[in-house]
Chains A and B, each alone.
Chain A
Amino acid sequence: MKRNVSSTTIMAFHFLRSLLHLNSYGGGGGGGVSPLRRSLRIRQAAYTSMAVAAGPRRAWSTALLRRLSPRRPHHRRAAPLRRNKIRVLGEVRRGVDDGDAALRKVVPGGDRLDCCSLLEETASYIEFLSMQVELMQRISSRSACIDLVRSF
């Protein structure tokens, strides 16, 4: 429970900070960047803050950060062939069914995990994802309140 609370605060802190950064980066009433791109960036910030709050121990958080980090595109391209091969081998050996394969696609970094740790990562991922959704709902409702007050 304590861990949950601390990771919630880490997540909120990180997400708000990146929101601030995005706002300051968009600069002066949203001049240069289109709204779609901005919402995409907010989404990326949300996932990044989730991953940061989860810490480096989790497979899904490292996979998310690796996917979202802008610095290593070639690394991302080189890896999937090897990973796919491992995954296929694992499926043949363990007889994983379709639901598992779909779960591997949904959970980031799940394509190279075995069944047990895949389920564990899924549980953690769901936990953090729901926390993130709750946080964003709170922020958006507060922001909506602010907006409402401002419109008066």
Chain B
Amino acid sequence: MDPSSLITRGNVPEMWQFPMIGVPSPVRVPAGRMGHRDASVVESSVTEQRGGNRSRKKRRDAGPPAASEDDSSKLVSTSSGGNDLTDNEAKCMKVGKSQDENTDSRVHNEASSGANKLDDPPEPPKQDYIHVRARRGQATDSHSLAERARREKISERMKILQDLVPGCNKVIGKASVLDEIINYIQALQRQVEFLSMKLEAVNSRINSNIEGFPTKDFGVQTYQTHSSLAFASQPTREYEQGSAAEWLHMQVGGAFERVT
């Protein structure tokens, strides 16, 4: 149905009001826009005072986004799709027809639409607030807080472990990550075992070279003390901190020189 065929002189203000009346608020705004656009085209040809005034006023309202509390806020807050626009146009037409029969209730409708307009703006912030509250809702219990902190701690350490273990970043899921970690540890332990066998094989051959090295005596002594849980025997640690690297180099290099 063509809007221009429906619109008469008396009906044009009703067309303006219809989007505000029967339709729930988020849907109403594109209808208002649509009616506004349509009617501004039609209005320029058909009516002069009232529709023209309205369209100008609406344009002014839509210009600054948050200037007035009713129209512009609704225009900003809701999203308008093309389907909604056509649907609302059809609804608009139907309501317009029904409103044609009782023309005397126009003033009442205007008043009610005004009331609706006044009621509308507090609603969307309220919904927003409820949404946020639902998101934060479970954090108030102390047990759940502690549990959440513990879980965060665990996941943080799992991340550290994932960084430590090579090839563990691609694995998804806690259980498989733990499996990877266990496999890595076991591989390292096996490698220690293998290397100790290798060192034994090599060492037994170069045994005679290292024998007679001057550090043998204090090596025996400190080994005996360490076997009774002596981590922090202070003099040896200072010695280690000072010259352990040189000692290591000297030891291996000395053996090398002796061999050659």
Q: Which residues of A line the B interface, CB within 8 A?
A: 6, 9-10, 12-14, 16-24, 26, 29-30, 35, 38-40, 42-43, 46-48, 51-52, 55-56, 61-62, 65-66, 69-71, 97-100, 102-103, 106-107, 115-116, 119-120, 122-123, 125-127, 129-130, 132-133, 136-137, 139-140, 142-147, 149-150
Is A133 a contact partner of B192 (Cβ separation < 8 A)? yes
A35 to B193, CA, bound (A): 13
Within 8 A of A (CB), among B52-70: none
Is B164 a contact partner of A102 (Cβ separation < 8 A)? no
Q: Which of A70, A98, A142 has the most CB of B within 10 A?
A: A142
Within 8 A of A (CB), among B135-158: 150, 153-154, 157-158
Cβ of A66 to closest chain B Cβ, rounded Å: 8
Pick the contact of B211: A24, A40, A102, A129 (CB < 8 A). A24
Pick the contact of A133: B175, B191, B228 (CB < 8 A). B191
Instruction: Given A10-B237, A10-B244, A56-B232, answer yes or no on A70-B227 (Cβ-Cβ < 8 Å).
Output: yes
Is B248 a contact partner of A69 (Cβ separation < 8 A)? no
A10 to B226, CA, bound (A): 13
Let me know if B49 is at the binding interface, CB within 8 A.
Answer: no
List the B side residues contacting A48 at CB < 8 Å.
Answer: 226
Is B191 a contact partner of A123 (Cβ separation < 8 A)? no
A145 to B210, CA, bound (A): 15
List the A side residues contacting B44 at CB < 8 Å.
Answer: none
List the A side residues contacting B227 at CB < 8 Å.
Answer: 69-71
List the A side residues contacting B12 at CB < 8 Å.
Answer: none
Let me know if B112 is at the binding interface, CB within 8 A.
Answer: no
Whose C-beta in chain A lies nearest to the C-beta of B226?
Answer: A52
Let me know if B42 is at the binding interface, CB within 8 A.
Answer: no
List the B side residues contacting A133 at CB < 8 Å.
Answer: 188, 191-192, 195
Pick the contact of B216: A24, A106, A116, A126 (CB < 8 A). A24
Is A123 a contact partner of B157 (Cβ separation < 8 A)? yes
Whose C-beta in chain A lies nearest to the C-beta of B247?
Answer: A13
Interface of chain B, main secondary structure: helix
Is B202 a contact partner of A29 (Cβ separation < 8 A)? no
Encode contact with A along B200-218: 1 for CB under 8 Å, 0 otherwise: 1111111111110101100
List the A side residues contacting B213 at CB < 8 Å.
Answer: 20
A-B contact pairs, 5 of them (CB 8 A): A16-B251, A23-B207, A106-B186, A123-B160, A136-B192
Q: Which residues of B line the A interface, CB within 8 A?
A: 150, 153-154, 157-158, 160-161, 164-165, 174-175, 178-179, 181-182, 184-186, 188-189, 191-193, 195-211, 213, 215-216, 219-220, 222-223, 226-229, 231-232, 237, 240-241, 244-245, 247-248, 251-252, 255-256, 259-260
A52 to B226, CA, bound (A): 9
List the A side residues contacting B157 at CB < 8 Å.
Answer: 116, 119-120, 123
